[in-house]
Every structure is written in structure tokens, then in C-alpha cells.
Amino acid sequence: LYMSGFGNEFASEDPRCPGSLPEGQNNPQVCPYGLYAEQLSGSAFTCPRSTNKRSWLYRILPSVRHKPFTPMSCGDLTENWNEVEPDPNQLRWKPFNIPKSSEKKVDFISGLHTVCGAGDSKSRNGIAIHMYTCNTSMIDKCFQNADGDFLIVPQQGEILITTEFGKMMVEPNEICVIQQGMRFSVDVFGETRGYILEVFGAHFELPDLGPIGANGLANPRDFQTPVAWYEDRTVATGYTIVNKYQGKLFSCQQDFSPFNVVAWHGNYTPYKYNLENFMVINCVAFDHADPSIFTVLTAKSTRPGVAIADFVIFPPRWGVADHTFRPPYYHRNCMSEFMGLIKGHYEAKEEGFQPGGASLHSIMTPHGPDVDCFEKNSTAVLKPERVAEGTMAFMFESSFSMALCPNH
């Protein structure tokens, strides 16, 4: 079950405990059912109301009841961008390999691989792009990202995400956002792969629509937030909390499940979105509109109109432009463009770009359609046609100049 809306003030309580949400105040002297009140802040206290993010959680035991954090292996998760010499060439990756469960059990955390990034989590300004490839569910273990927000794009295999706010089933062609500090665990049902855009220092929001008007692109009503669900479970052998902090991984132990939130209210929540609900806007006369018309979510920088990162999709749509080269145009961009493919064939590169793979076009590096695409579409008889049918490509676009990580 989900609640509808983007950035709303939500309130939810598990139906097994009616009346567990306090009325009229956030932090009563004694909470219903003897619960503990805990605030999760996603913004500074004094941020303007339009950007102020926080939720109140009412839990069986408080999060503070844990043993000390200790460093653990980061595997292929890194922020060491400066260890690799810059490479402005066009880069492309084949589909990232998923380990076989018969050979090695790999869960979501151990299956994280950083591909590229820029900036710094310590200064709260930058991004990282990761892949996850896994075959095993997380058992008595959860993940918390103290550095930033995760925008997760499943490509192969659905994932069941249990959060402190409730559960979300996220399938390929859907996305979800787990915001900074929210604890979650991932269950998988076979060989699983996907992409992650991590943003430091900002939260994702809907792009401004300008002259488009009040409706269009990703409509707020189509975003879904989970309803409260809890488990009152003691884990005698120890429950592991993995914390990503300043680009490193740390773990601690506690003897209870962190998913013990009976009720909650606020506007700082995890959420998911089905990309099929995107209301596509396209050119209906001539020429090629810029891909910004396909922006689903944006993480704004302090410069107006310039994003730390945009999440952009290239969904099925009608192409009707007259006397126009309809595929994406040749381009040199002041932004970095990382592309992935969830399914199908990307129109500008139908052969070399595969689902589960990726490409990176760095700042001001030329890129565009391949020869076959250019010749085919330069001589085509133009008529209304469906474009990208059965396909979903996407782009993580950033104003940062992204660098590769040592393992890629």
C-alpha cells in the first residue's frame, strides 16, 4: 500500500496499533503504546518552509541504542576520483556482470560498484554514480547513507525495499529515492542489477514547468510513499547497521530490528515512481527540443537553472517533426552525461548500447548518433511514427566534471 503525492505532509500508522500516532503534538511526555518519538531531519531547522524536510518516527526502541561503529571494507564503493588520470574520451561499458549465486552470495551492499563521480561528501557538494549487481537478499542487515540521497534505477529484477517508513516493491521501469539517513534493507529474487545516482548536499525535486503550465512531465500524484509497517523482532545474534559516512563504510551491531517504526508523520520520506506515468512532451512541428523536456527529477545547485544532477528519461513517444533529423542531435555539452539503458534499443545507437550497460560523455566531449543512425534518418520518408517503442533509456546529467573510479 502507498500514499500518493510528492513532498506531501504524510501521516501513517500501522493498523495493528490504532491510535499510535500522537495527536496535537510531536513529542508527548508519554507516547501511545510506550513508543519513543524520534525526529529525522533532512534539512537544517531554519530552512524556508518550502525546503524544510523532516519526519517524526514513533518506534519501539530508539535508533541510538546500538554499539559503536567500526570501519569495514568498502569493496568497490569509493570516492577516490583523484586517483585516476582524467579521460575526456567517449566511454561505454558493456552490461555489468551479475555474480552467479552458485559461485558467490552477493547482497545489495557488497554488490555496490562506484563507476564515476565528482565533488566531495565532506563538503556536501557533488555526486557519485554506482551500479549494484547482486543475487542474495540482505539478512539481518540494513544500510544507511549519511552522505546523500540514493536514486535507484532497477534494470534487471524487482527489489523489495524495507524502510523505516514501510515497504516498497520496485520493478524495472520504476525508480525509487531513499533520502539521506533513511535506513533500508533490500530483498532480491534472483540475479539483480541496477543503477544508482547519489547526490550530496541536495534533495531531488520536481523540475519547474515554466510555460508548460501546471501539468506535465512527472505529475506529483503519481509518486508513491509507503505506509507504516513495523516488526517487533529481537535479533540475539546481532543486527548489522551499515553506515556510509564520508565515502567510507562503517558497521555497528544492535539486538533488534531497526524497522520498528509503528507510526510516523512528516514530509521527509522514501518514495517511488513508475516511469510509464511520465507525461511526454515533444515537438509537433519541426526541429528537435532539448532533452530537458524529459526531466523526471532534479537536484538543484545554488545557480538558477543549473543542476547538481538531473534524472532524464527517453521514453516511448510519437515523432512527428517535419523536415527534421529526428534522433538526438550531435552535441557538445557544458554538462556531463551518463547514460544507461533499462530495456530495448536506444534510438541513436541501436547496436553497441545494451541494457545494463552505460556510457559517459564528459564535459565538452563531442557525441551523437552513429553512422548507421545518421544515414538511415537523413534519407527516411518522414511520417508520424512511434519512437523508442519498448525502450527506456535514461541519463544522469550533471554540472560536475565527472571522473572515473580506480576500478573502472
Residues forming the annotated binding site for Fe cation? 331, 337
**Known binding-site residue numbers:** 331, 337, 346, 367
The 3-class SS string of the chain reads CEEECCCCCEEEECCCCCCCCCCCCCCCCCCHHHCEEEEEECCCCCCCHHHCCEEEEEECCCCCCCCCCEECCCCECCCCHHHCCCCCCCEEECCCCCCCCCCCCCCCCCCEEEEEEEEECCCCEEEEEEEEEECCCCCCEEEEECCEEEEEEEEECCEEEEECCEEEEECCCEEEEECCCCCEEEEECCCEEEEEEEEECCCCECCCCHHHCCCCECCHHHCEEECCCCCCCEEEEEEEEEEEECCEEEEEEEEECCCCEEEEEECCCCEEEEHHHCECCCCCCECCCCHHHHEEEEEECCCCCCEEEEEEEECCEEECCECCCCCCCCECCCCEEEEEEEECCCCCCCCCCCCCCEEEECCCCCECCCHHHHHHHHCCCCCCEEECCCCEEEEEEECCCCEECCCC
Kindly name the residue from 265, 288, 345, 361 that is annotated as catalytic.
288
**Does the annotation count 130 as an active-site position?**
no
Residues forming the active site: 288
